[in-house]
Amino acid sequence: MKKVIIIGATSGIGRELAKSYAAAGWLVGATGRRQDYLYTLLLEYPNHIITECFDVTANESLTHLQSLVKKMDGMDLLIYNSGFGDNSETLDWKLDKTTVDTNVNGFIEIINFSFNYFLEQGYGHLAATSSVASQRGSSLAPAYSASKAFQSVYFEGLHIKSKKMKSSIYVTDVQPGFVDTPLAKGSRRFWVSSPQKAAEQIVEAIEKKKWRVYITQRWWLVAKVIKWMPDFIYHRIA
């Protein structure tokens, strides 16, 4: 049985990913802080879900991950999906700190461990739910867009590193546009995907070993327009 660990599988995109992999016969290690949500997931797929409840910003997060890997007797794929983001119009330090603790510090600790774990094992696949927001700075949520840029740039580095080492470790940087979850804020939302559709496309991209994917696929166009838009236009709208 193939084994995937999903960090942040209690709700939204992560929960749908957990359900997709469990339904496809994988053994799924599901994590998150909300024990009751993990429990209901376990009840849905009792033979395919193993849970570990922890906060990615806590000191013990790696100990929890290692314990989960042990309970599952290995891992083939790890998806870092935990994320936090909110509008920080007044540049609220608490919001900014939670964003960086979750999306940068929690992320790098788990991804660094997992890349080295896969190196030792000789194979493996890493994916992370970054965002199209990683493309440029945002005046509404500067810490969020910067934290997602960190994730995507780090993943590009790992992708190149793995290629240069001729290793069998694959990396997939997932950049969603809008997905219909409580995390998606703003009144100017468009091309909003359901979490189910997003999960379907993420699973397919991982299966195809794509190093970067936009969710849904047409968000590729938005990402490229944002990236190459001249500053004098972008700075008026962002």
Ligand X SMILES: NC(=O)c1ccc[n+]([C@@H]2O[C@H](COP(=O)([O-])OP(=O)(O)OC[C@H]3O[C@@H](n4cnc5c(N)ncnc54)[C@H](OP(=O)(O)O)[C@@H]3O)[C@@H](O)[C@H]2O)c1
One residue of 20, 85, 114, 216 binding ligand X per CB under 6 A? 85
What is the residue-wise DSSP string for 21-47? HHHTT-EEEEEES-HHHHHHHHHHSTT
Among 22, 32, 52, 111, indicate the residue that binds ligand X (CB under 6 A). 32
Contacts to ligand X from residues 196-215, by CB under 6 A: none
Using rule CB under 6 A, residue 114 touches ligand X: no
Tokens representing 94 are: 């608490």
What is the 8-class DSSP label of residue 144?
H
Binding mask 120-149 for ligand X (x = CB under 6 A): ---------x-x------------------
Residues in contact with ligand X, shown as a per-residue x/- string from 149 to 188 under the rule CB under 6 A: ---------------------------x-xx-xxxx----
- Residue 13 in contact with ligand X, rule: CB under 6 A: yes
State in Å, rounded, how far the first CA of the chain is from the last one. Answer: 45
Applying CB under 6 A, among 5, 56, 95, 110 the residue interacting with ligand X is 56
Question: By C-beta, is 93 or 123 nearer to ligand X?
Answer: 93
Phi, psi of 108 (to 5 degrees): -70, -35
Task: Report the alpha-carbon distance of residue 155 to residue 43 in Å, rounded.
Answer: 34
> Does the CA dihedral 9-14-15-20 come out positive or negative?
negative
Q: How far apart are CA 128 and CA 81, in angstroms?
A: 6
Listed ranges 19-27, 30-38, 86-94, 163-171: which one lies at the site for ligand X (CB under 6 A): 30-38
Give least dist CB 228 to ligand X, A.
20
- In this structure, what token pair is assigned to residue 2? 């193939």
12 near ligand X, rule: CB under 6 A: yes
Based on CB atoms, which residue is closest to ligand X, 76 or 180?
180
Query: Looking at the annotation, which residues are catalytic?
Result: 144
CB-count exposure of residue 40 (10 Å: 0-12, 13-18, 19+): exposed
Q: Is 15 helix (H, G, I), strand (E, B) or coil?
A: helix
CB of 119 to ligand X, least distance (A): 25
Confirm if 1 and 183 have CB atoms less than 8 A apart: no
Among 3, 4, 14, 126, binds ligand X (CB under 6 A): 14
Contact residues toward ligand X (CB under 6 A) are 8-14, 32-34, 37, 55-57, 81-85, 102, 129, 131, 176, 178-179, 181-184
